[in-house]
Amino acid sequence: MSELKIFGLRPVLEAIENKRSIDKVWLVKSSNSKLYTELISKLKKIIFPIA
């Protein structure tokens, strides 16, 4: 099976909202944007480990 890579906060949020399977999410920790906060919140709701 081929690996799908998604880049950008908005596309990752859309993938979560469309219930796509996600194995990893790479983020820049210094980001303080509204989208970043929204993404972290959604990842925590689906019990995605954040390191």
pLDDT at 2: 74
* pLDDT digit string, tens, across residues 4-43: 889 989 999 999 999 888 888 888 776 778 888 899 898 8
Q: Show Cβ contacts of residue 12 under 8 Å, excluding neighbours closer than 6 positions.
A: 6, 22, 25, 39
pLDDT at 14: 94
Quote the Cα angle for 49-3-13, to 5°.
50
On whether residue 37 sits in a domain, the answer given is yes
On whether residue 51 sits in a domain, the answer given is no
Q: Angle at which helices 34-45 and 9-17 pack, to 10 degrees? A: 30
Rounded to two decimals, the pTM is: 0.73
* pLDDT digit string, tens, across residues 31-42: 778 888 899 898
Q: Which domain holds residue 40?
A: 9-45
On whether residue 20 sits in a domain, the answer given is yes
